[in-house]
Structure 1
Amino acid sequence: MDPNLSCLILFNLICLVACTSENHQHNGSHHYDYCVVGGGPAGLQMGYFLSKAQRNYIILERNSGPGSFFNKYPRHRKLISINKIHTGRQNREFNLRHDWNSLLSDDPNLLFKRVSREFYPPADTFPLYLSMFVKELGLRVLYGVDIGKIRAVQSQTARRYLLTDQHGSHYFCSILLVATGLWVPQTVDFVGSDLVEGYESISTNPEDFKNQAVLILGKGNSAFETAQSILGSASRVHMLSSSPVRLAWQTHYVGDLRAVNNELIDTYQLKSLDGLVESRLEKIVIARKKDNGLYLTLKKYVNVKNSSDVTREELPSHHIDNFPMRKPYDRVIRCLGFRFNFSIFDSSACPPNSENAKGRLPGLTAWYEATDTPGLFVLGTAGHSRDYRASAGGFVHGFRYTVRAVHRVLEQRYHTNNWPSTTLLTTQLQSWILKRVGEASGPYQMFAVLGDLILLRGSDCVYLDEFPLQALPQFSSLSGHTVPSRGLIVVLMQYGKKKIDYLGSNRAETDWTKAWKSNFLHPVLYYYETLPTKDDMKLLPEGWPLPRPKAIHHMVEDFLAEWESPISHIQPLRRFLEHCLQTDLRTFYAESCFRSSLTHHKPPPFCQQGYLKQQGVIHSSELQQHFPTSGLSG
């Protein structure tokens, strides 16, 4: 045979094998127990817990690296998540209260401060941190996998999810964990909306706005971030939305306008050409007149024939001659935030729209499972419908804890591993509660959403951390624990319900006898004889995170957020616990325990569990060294 022909045949065979291998790679099927869609912070956080539990999982990310959203957003490249490195404390759990960027792991060094020391870090540092998180924990992530279609497949034995990527490859999984975040720009359709630029595509060079009049649609952080970047170059900046500005320091919601972005409020209130206006966007019209200026008016004053592309038609005159937006604008910019990408879901798997956030988010159960879509859970920012405008579940420092809660639900449901718990003697309960309210970061960040549960069993109790409060009616099935006949106590953090002047002279309550009037974040304990029902959860008193309990105790707010004062905090807490447990929780000297054992049928628990079991102070050589100076003999 001709050697050249042999080489040609061999070359063709190699190409055929290579093509077959490539097609198999792109069109093959892959099977996992857990599929995590999205390699952002929520997806990686879940990946860590799945990896730690040694589950069969994969994380599918459409881009070439983790956290790709932050390669572009925020557009002006400054994060507004706090990176407070120096707290004066070495307690890692406490420090997470003020570290809003790190993810949870067992590695004490795997923290965001390794990539940035700035209080408000540059956005580019976050993907860098996430890459470090993936590498050092060895998480299983497939990059360049763009899932375009998700559908449910029902067999005779089980329901699974089928995911299809851009190459036609299939991924089958029993449990689908969606962590795609919010990245689809939120738009509003009105006459002239085609003349509007989007936040996602505007120039970030202030010089491009030099001496221009700019109208910004929206009054959230992206809108004010944009306004702040052009204040020094634009001739005037106006902002329009349907609602007034909500300041985060007034609402306690970190998604509202943060002080780091609110310089335009100064220039507005100090009358320096900038301003804020309210109107529903559906009711406005933006049209370009023959002088090429963009004019805004109300839809009711415009003839049907007027539209944004009719440049020769004169707009009707305004109904009042001092209409605040009567002058033309050079540019109109849309900064209305983002929405969940529902388009990748087939009708068999698509979660419903939530009633919160104007339908921008999927509807979820209290344990973050899509309503009417079993086995599909939504994590991270996309799961914010459960606490929209109420807590921090839409942000890293909040959803790192809700992701952990979801993982605990998965472990119980699919692997019969009960919710982690600690068994305590009743005499230890007060100290444990004080420790948790003093340092725990989960209930502190996810206030009124995640809380600690105490199952009362008499001489001892079972303590569970960070259970989703709205899921209390389903507690037993989600946690694997049952509520004993003596009832349970829920410990959570919450703000006061009263509307006050948050910088006024009477903004804080310091009298422990009026702790229920506390305005700032403080611990609250709810005692229930039985679990609240679904109906109870639907009929909450206004402003309450939970149904009305059998007994309730507020620990008075504290300026230092340290609830350890003997009179103001500890003694009232002990009396509340004694009321719930119907027992004496005081500590006693040995002599008092001896007298009590002679004069009472049932001595206090401290004496039963200590003195009567001959459990005093443990002897040690260090303690013995102090005997002479204390007047004691060895």
Structure 2
Amino acid sequence: MVEYLVIGAGPAGLQIGSFLHRAGRDYVILEAESEPASFFREFPRHRVLATDDNSLFDGVPFGRYSKRAFPDADDLVRYLEDFARPLHIRYGTRVSDPAEYRARHVILAIGKKPHVPSIPGIEHADTYASAGTDPTLYARKRVLIIGRGRSAFETADNIAATARLTHTVGRAVQRIVKQGNEFVVAIDGTGELRYDKVIVCAGFRRDTSLDRPDAHVITGDSIKAIRHSARALHRTLEAEHHGVPWPHRKLRNRPDSLAATIASRARQIPEGLADVVVPQGQHAILYDEMPTTERNGFVVTSTQISHYRKNELIAVEHRLHRKPLERFFSQQLAVPCIS
């Protein structure tokens, strides 16, 4: 029996594992491969990271591993290897059903896999995971790249200097027909075009193969989003199962004080999370980066502030600047606006 079973030793699994480790909880991380960070050993295919924030909470600053504006993916792998060393990880353990393990809480951190859209004839195309990365393979060829995200433009940039032409399209592809060595592609609004190569770079989707109703899931579109999600989950588990209060601070319960704090905080709140402000007499309590299921007091996301009373929506303000917020709080708190 283990208290916390974490499946996956990528950024999400390592991050939640670090929180559990420092809190002194009983946990184990199971990883199918023989090393951590298996996703980043394969992706991105051209081994250059975007200018994302590639450090984890309370870890060694990533700047110690690379100071390049576009770091090499192998630098991130080294970083994650070092981050994983003190954690309790069991490698070479592939999980087909979490129910086979005795655990009070299951946390799924198994990451994503390449997405292949449902287009007739898509099976004839190469994928982001299988297409060759040597630009000379595409010399004087007509290449269609299906996708409009990071992986698509990374691939297009890699072959642009050698390919005869490169087209990138999003959801407009209707079907793909293989005729000899050519691909005939029907594109909505354009008609049929012929290519020598078709590469599907349609991004990634979360692996849902191990999902179960009682499991917790950590996900995100970037390492930054993942680490915020992991921290919110850890705080939730600590509050619900170990009696550890959610981190909070006191503010003066006045429109000017609340508006100044919220105007500054709104730009920092990650997608999918919210700051919650609960008035209590002369003070207000600010709980930062909670799950957006909280429905009490003022719920602040990066795009709006909503006022709830006993789960009932009272008012919404989308202008998260100091003066509009001050007027909003004045109305909601029913006190004069302080000039």
Same fold? TM cut 0.5? yes
Give the Cα separation in 1 of the matches to 2:154 and 2:241: 44
Cα deviation, 1:33-88, whole Å, max 9, x if unaligned, reads 11111111111111121112211011112223221211111111111133xxxxxx
Relative distance call for 1:422 and 1:439 in structure 2 (3 A) is closer
Residue identity (%) = 31
Aligned to 2:150: 221
Give the Cα separation in 2 of the matches to 1:176 and 1:133: 22
Of residues 69, 75, 80 in structure 2, which corresponds to 1:130?
80
Aligned to 2:177: 286
The one-letter code sitting in structure 1 at the alignment partner of 2:108 is V
Q: Is the 8 A contact 2:119 2:173 kept in 1?
A: no
TM-score normalised by the chain length of structure 2: 0.87
Q: Is the 8 A contact 1:426 1:461 kept in 2?
A: yes
Question: Any idea what SS the aligned residue of 2:238 has?
Answer: helix
Q: Which has the larger radius of gyration?
A: 1
- 2:294 equivalent to 1:472: yes
Q: Is the 8 A contact 1:186 1:339 kept in 2?
A: no
Q: How does 1:151-170 map onto structure 2 within 5 Å?
A: 151=98, 161-162=99-100
Give the Cα separation in 2 of the matches to 1:131 and 1:440: 33
Give the Cα separation in 1 of the matches to 2:57 and 2:236: 17
The one-letter code sitting in structure 2 at the alignment partner of 1:489 is F
Task: Give the paired residue count.
Answer: 337
- 2:333 equivalent to 1:581: yes
- Cα shift at 1:583: 4.1
Question: Any idea what SS the aligned residue of 2:225 has?
Answer: helix
Give the Cα separation in 1 of the matches to 2:123 and 2:300: 51
Aligned to 1:7: none
Greater per-residue helix proportion: 1
Aligned to 2:264: 438
* Unmatched 5+ stretches in structure 2: none
Question: Any idea what SS the aligned residue of 1:418 has?
Answer: coil
Cα deviation, 1:251-278, whole Å, max 9, x if unaligned, reads xxxxxxxxxxxxxxxxxxxxxxxxxxx2
Cα deviation, 1:288-322, whole Å, max 9, x if unaligned, reads 23xxx3131559xxxxxxxxxxxxxxxxxxxxxx9
Give the Cα separation in 2 of the matches to 1:336 and 1:577: 44
- Cα shift at 1:324: 4.9
Give the Cα separation in 1 of the matches to 2:6 and 2:34: 16
Relative distance call for 1:201 and 1:531 in structure 2 (3 A) is same
- 2:14 equivalent to 1:36: no
Aligned to 2:249: 422
Q: How does 1:29-178 map onto structure 2 within 5 Å?
A: 31-82=1-52, 100-105=53-58, 110-135=60-85, 138-147=86-95, 149-151=96-98, 161-162=99-100, 171-178=101-108
The one-letter code sitting in structure 1 at the alignment partner of 2:67 is R
- 2:240 equivalent to 1:378: no
Give the Cα separation in 1 of the matches to 2:126 and 2:252: 63
Aligned to 2:301: 492
Greater per-residue strand proportion: 2
Q: Is the 8 A contact 1:578 1:585 kept in 2?
A: yes
Give the Cα separation in 2 of the matches to 1:340 and 1:491: 27
The one-letter code sitting in structure 2 at the alignment partner of 1:51 is H
Cα deviation, 1:368-414, whole Å, max 9, x if unaligned, reads xxxxx12x01112xxxxxxxxxxxx3211122112111112212222
Question: Any idea what SS the aligned residue of 2:229 has?
Answer: helix
Aligned to 1:335: 201
Aligned to 1:237: 166
Give the Cα separation in 2 of the matches to 1:222 and 1:204: 12
TM-score normalised by the chain length of structure 1: 0.49
Question: Any idea what SS the aligned residue of 1:183 has?
Answer: strand
Give the Cα separation in 2 of the matches to 1:441 and 1:32: 39
